Amino acid sequence: MLTVLSCLAVEHHPAFTLAALVICIAGSIISLRLFARVRRTSAVVKALWLFMAGLIAGGTIWSTHFVAMMGYETPVTLGYAPVPTVASLAIAVAGSTLGFHLAARTVSTAWIEAGGAILGLGIVAMHYTGMAALRLDGHVEWSMPYVIASVVLAMGFGAAATNRIGRPVTMFCKYGGAIGLVLAVVSLHFTAMAAATVVPGPAIGAIGSVISQPVMAIGVASVMTTLLALASAAYLIDLKSSQEAHNRINHLSLHDPLTGLANRTKIAEHLQSIMDGRADDTARAVVAIIGIGRFKEVNDVHGQDFGDRTLKAVAERLKSAQQPGEFVGRFGGDEFLVIIYPVYGRAEAAKFAGEWHSLTVFPFEVDGKEVSLECRLGAAIYPDHGRQPAELTERAGLALQRLKAEGRTHFAIYEPELDEESRRKSSLSVDLRNAIVNDELELHYQAQHHLKTREIIGFEALLRWNHPVHGRVSPATFIPIAEETGLIVKIGEWVLLQACREAASWERAYTVAVNVAPAQLERSDVAGDVARALEETGLASSRLELEITESGIISDQAHVLQLIRQIKKLGVRIAMDDYGTGYSSLSTLQNFPFDKIKIDREFVTDIAGNEQSAAIIRATVILANSLGIPVLAEGAENEEQLALLQESGCEAVQGFYFGRPKTVEQLRAITGFRKEGDAARSLLKKRSDSNSVRAA
């Protein structure tokens, strides 16, 4: 060790030693950074980074050696032989490249350290080849213990260098790797030089042409400057590109790709920043969700691409209207979100909500076409209605849902009772999933009468839910829940089978009408469900009538028309329900083979006092008669209505005038219907249990 230190202190010029150390440190840092790139890339890019890393590391090792050798003070040095000098550079580059290649193979093996050891061997081979290039008046004698020590040190520190890059434990390991490479080069050089003793005398072998010290200095400086500049430029360019790519990815992760507006994650971050940075306790923030109505119609009529451009037009209008303190984002689907801060009163919050609502109610121009959309806005206020981003958006959503449920197209601010309503709906939704299995659902039947003879001609099956805790739950409450959750499909199958089974037990062959929800029509096997219900219950197909609304047809007319034709092939009748409340277009009556039209109750209720309602009923009957379709009016409650309906030409009627809907037992007491066997109910429950198991 003392020999090594004396070699460093006495036999090397300090200026050259310092220059060699600077080159070694700079080159090692860049080399190990490039090696880290090799480990993170693959294929062609990996090969390019490997070539660059090997070239810079080899150049660093070679330059450090020869700069230090220039400072090696011996009076017998003549210069350097060209061939071994160039060969030593090639060996340094090759050894570095091979070592990095092996060390970059995988994280889970010892190849990381093995590659570093190969890198160290490359340093050793370069050094002793470079020493062979030295031409002097004398010869060199070697101390083998120091030679062996130099090899061990180079390989050990080389393995440590790749280990810190390949198996990092802290953010500073990248510097640890560079230190390892510096120590591998420096310890090898000075230990190996301590092993060398120059003996003056005649040179051994032919001297030949040599490269002088000044020329060598210029060459080394040129090579190293070029390599470091090239590597630094490549690394910085890649770093810049990686940063730009990271920024793009970060932007995409926080923004909606279609509209460019902030997405839910960015919205939550912005809300949280307002809450964390609020200095004025009197300042509030308004969180408003804007729901765009009739958007599905735009998609259906003009196509999805046009719908996307419509959403972009909405986003552009919202962005253009944005003022300081306001934040706009896309909440999802056809919903946008606006945050206004600061706001100092509820009246001011309502004013802002109204302004943002008004921005979306006037028509948009998309591709030269004027598009009119409905708009609803639900708002919540921070901190009055919540102190967490998710809590505020949820409550703004509740206010929006109330508007949708009530059919209003304006704006509303959250009210605390909405939480109770939401919790009740969620609870009912959970209970509704088990209602079939728990035998909580039952059917009531409302009679349909011939208007002239007043005789019963059939019954409509109406669903009722006997909740074990809440008692009788209104269909107006649980049917929307079933539609929102998708349970309406399973419930609809149960109603169809149960109605067919109970109707098959009646002594008289009355028809039974069953409502079919729009969600059921979207399924391609509804005709199969009808066929199976008829087969299992033995009900004649002519006694079954399915009622569908025009709103259930309009979403996919081609599919529903095909479905209706399949059902009619079974001999089942199809009725249009709630006529007059939907689109009620003549083309629908022309294109769809309906067997009956049912006029909605709201027209029958107003028939005596509203001439428009009476005119609609008369026009409907005239139109139906011209198409050969019978008409049934719903909601008849008094003799005056019956007389006016008969005068209008209506053929059949149902309503409370003839009594409220009755259970099977009540009908049995009145009409003498046979009692349905217990075995049938057991079979029905068994089928429901089996369906639940398959669904699970």
Give the SS3 label for residue 571: coil
Residue 255 CB coordination number (10 Å) = 17
- H helices, E strands: number in the chain: 26, 20
Asked whether residue 342 falls in the same domain as residue 435, the answer is no
Asked whether residue 289 falls in the same domain as residue 377, the answer is yes
Here the tokens at position 146 are 């120091």
Residue 247 has, within 13 A of its CA and on its CB side, a CA count of 6
On whether the CB atoms of residues 69 and 134 are closer than 8 A, the answer is yes
From CA 335, how far away is CA 374, in angstroms rounded?
12
Residue 285 host element (H or E): strand 284-293
Phi-psi map region of 336: left, alpha, beta (phi>0 left; psi -120 to 50 alpha) = beta
Q: What is the CATH number of the domain that holds 511?
A: 3.20.20.450
Last residue of one domain, picked from the residues 368, 392, 415 = 415
Single-letter residue type at 479: I
Q: List Cβ neighbours of 374 (8 Å cut-off, separation of 6 or more).
A: 292, 293, 294, 361, 409
pLDDT at 2: 40
Q: Is residue 253 part of a domain?
A: no
Residue 396 CB coordination number (10 Å) = 29
Asked whether residue 192 falls in the same domain as residue 305, the answer is no
Last residue of one domain, picked from the residues 361, 390, 415 = 415
CA angle 251, 255, 259 (to 5 degrees): 125
Torsion sign (Cα): 81, 83, 86, 91: negative
Asked whether residue 239 falls in the same domain as residue 294, the answer is no
Q: List Cβ neighbours of 146 (8 Å cut-off, separation of 6 or more).
A: 3, 4, 191, 192, 194, 195
Q: Is residue 256 part of a domain?
A: no
Q: Is residue 259 part of a domain?
A: no
Q: How far is CA 345 from CA 68, 348, 354, in A?
A: 77, 5, 14
Residue keyed to tokens 């005119």? 615
Here the tokens at position 157 are 């520190």
Q: What is the CATH number of the domain that holds 338?
A: 3.30.70.270
Give the SS3 label for residue 390: helix
Instruction: For 611-674, list the strands marked E by DSSP.
Output: 631-634, 652-654
Asked whether residue 546 falls in the same domain as residue 684, the answer is yes
On whether the CB atoms of residues 380 and 287 are closer than 8 A, the answer is yes
DSSP state of 523: S
From CA 376, how far away is CA 368, in angstroms rounded?
25
From CA 632, how far away is CA 78, in angstroms rounded?
119
pLDDT at 687: 46
Asked whether residue 272 falls in the same domain as residue 155, the answer is no
Residue ranges of the chain with pLDDT lower than 50?
Answer: 1-6, 8-9, 205-206, 675-687, 691-696
On whether the CB atoms of residues 456 and 448 are closer than 8 A, the answer is yes
Asked whether residue 175 falls in the same domain as residue 52, the answer is yes
Q: 143-162 burial, b for 16+ CB within 10 Å, e for fewer?
A: eeebbebbbebbbbbbbbbb
Asked whether residue 188 falls in the same domain as residue 284, the answer is no
Last residue of one domain, picked from the residues 415, 438, 468 = 415
From CA 458, how far away is CA 510, in angstroms rounded?
5
Instruction: Report the chain's terminal Cα–Cα distance, integer Å.
Output: 76
pLDDT at 671: 58
Torsion sign (Cα): 170, 175, 179, 182: positive
471, with CB counted inside 10 A (0-12, 13-18, 19+), is exposed
On whether the CB atoms of residues 507 and 540 are closer than 8 A, the answer is no
Residue keyed to tokens 């909440």? 331
pLDDT in tens, 499-513: 999 999 888 889 999
pLDDT at 583: 55
Is residue 483 annotated as part of the catalytic site, yes or no? no
Torsion sign (Cα): 111, 114, 116, 118: negative
Q: Is residue 514 part of a domain?
A: yes
Q: Is residue 251 part of a domain?
A: no
On whether the CB atoms of residues 274 and 280 are closer than 8 A, the answer is no
pLDDT at 337: 93
**Number of structural domains, the chain?**
3
From CA 37, how far away is CA 54, in angstroms rounded?
12
pLDDT at 560: 84
Q: Which of 634, 640, 647, 651 is catalytic?
A: 634
Residue keyed to tokens 């400057």? 225
Q: Is residue 558 part of a domain?
A: yes
Q: Is residue 420 part of a domain?
A: no
Q: List Cβ neighbours of 572 (8 Å cut-off, separation of 6 or more).
A: 530, 534, 541, 542, 544, 545, 546
The parent domain of residue 217 ranges over 2-244
Residue keyed to tokens 């970059």? 104
Asked whether residue 448 falls in the same domain as residue 587, the answer is yes
pLDDT at 68: 84
Q: Is residue 258 part of a domain?
A: no
On whether the CB atoms of residues 311 and 334 are closer than 8 A, the answer is yes
Phi, psi of 609 (to 5 degrees): -110, 0
Asked whether residue 345 falls in the same domain as residue 473, the answer is no
pLDDT at 439: 87
Q: How far is CA 242 from CA 8, 191, 237, 239, 248, in A?
A: 42, 41, 9, 5, 10
Asked whether residue 287 falls in the same domain as residue 210, the answer is no
Nearest to 528 by CA among 539, 538, 518, 520: 520
pLDDT at 582: 57
Nearest to 97 by CA among 58, 64, 40, 60: 58
Asked whether residue 280 falls in the same domain as residue 191, the answer is no
> Cis omega before residue 342 (within 30°)?
yes
